[in-house]
Amino acid sequence: MSKQFSPELANKSCWPKLAVFVGLALFSNVLGAQANKKTIDSDSGIAFSSAVVDQYRIHFAYAGDRDKPGIIFLHGTPGSWPAFEKYLANKSLQEDYFMVSVDRLGWGKSRIGLATGGASRRHAKTTSAFLLQARSIASVMRLYPAKKWLLVGHSLGSSIAPKIALLEDNKVAGMLLLSGSLDPRLGKPRWYNQIAGTLLVKWMLPRALKFSNDEIMGLQEELRHLESELATRKLAAEVVIMQGLKDRLVSPQNTSYVMKNWPRSFKNLRSIALPDAGHFLPWEQSELVIETIRQFKF
């Protein structure tokens, strides 16, 4: 059980993490506004489409050669598809891959409940968050039925990616998991998440921060379910874990957990530790991320 808030927990080392968390939410508001205003740019090669799962519509951007192997980028929390816009606009990647960057359900234009009313919101609350997210990504995959996919996830996107592989083992050829929270024992909400989840505080928060906090509050339980499912399966996907050792939001110890527990679930597993890197690998280590993407054979 998570510790309750106390003055001892609110030490100086916690405040930078809180500042980053709030900053991410504010940054997400900017990204979300940008995403909602995005139009097709013929020079970038990026276009937009959507897929449907249950009563939800998942919005995504895409670019590249439809006849080439597929990559699906999964943003963290908060976030939206422009988190990976740099990759979709990369002309070299466009020549060799078909790339998709989604607005995960609840983010950007993939809203939960806003268009379909109360029934949609009730359905979301009674459905596993990871399962619903994974099924929404699977609905995108079904638009391109012959394609094999590499999943590139960041932060919570990395946490969700294995659930997609469990659902679509025959379609997921690989996973590149960046700064992923994957160990249930390390997925506990922090003290500031507990505060943000109280009714008194929650009503004052912007939508992005509220939804992000909801995702984090449910993370540990979702990771426990994921751990149980992976223990009974052997999946075909090749997996690479990339983790910055100076990450202040996701513990680098997650890599140790994966390397100890996942070999029985995946046939090919390796890790890349970056001694001087932090949490924001998609932006700060983009050259290495692209280099690693190109090492996958599918």
Within a domain: 248: yes
Which one has a higher pLDDT value, 182 or 214?
A: 182
What 3-state DSSP class applies to 74?
A: strand
| Mean pLDDT across the chain | 84
Reply yes or no on whether the pLDDT at 122 is more than 70. Answer: no
Provide the residue range defining the domain that includes 20: 14-295
Of how many residues is the chain composed?
298
Is 217 in contact with 148 (CB distance < 8 Å)? no
Within a domain: 6: no
Within a domain: 24: yes
Is 191 in contact with 9 (CB distance < 8 Å)? yes
Reply yes or no on whether the pLDDT at 144 is more than 80. Answer: yes
Range 107-123 average pLDDT: 61
The pLDDT > 90 percentage for the chain reads 68
Reply yes or no on whether the pLDDT at 252 is more than 70. Answer: yes
Which one has a higher pLDDT value, 15 or 6?
A: 15
Range 158-181 average pLDDT: 98
CA dist., res. 48 & res. 18, Å (int): 34
Within a domain: 99: yes
pLDDT at 209: 79
pLDDT at 208: 75
Within a domain: 5: no
Number of domains in the chain: 1
Within a domain: 2: no
Is 61 in contact with 264 (CB distance < 8 Å)? no
pLDDT at 197: 55
What 3-state DSSP class applies to 34?
A: helix
Within a domain: 126: yes
Write out pLDDT tens, residues 26-37: 444 444 444 455
Within a domain: 66: yes
Q: Which pLDDT band holds residue 3 (cuts at 50, 70, 90)?
A: very low
- Residues forming beta bridges with residue 240, ordered by sequence position: 176, 270
pLDDT at 262: 98
CA dist., res. 2 & res. 192, Å (int): 12
Say which CATH number the domain at 191 has: 3.40.50.1820
The pLDDT > 70 percentage for the chain reads 75
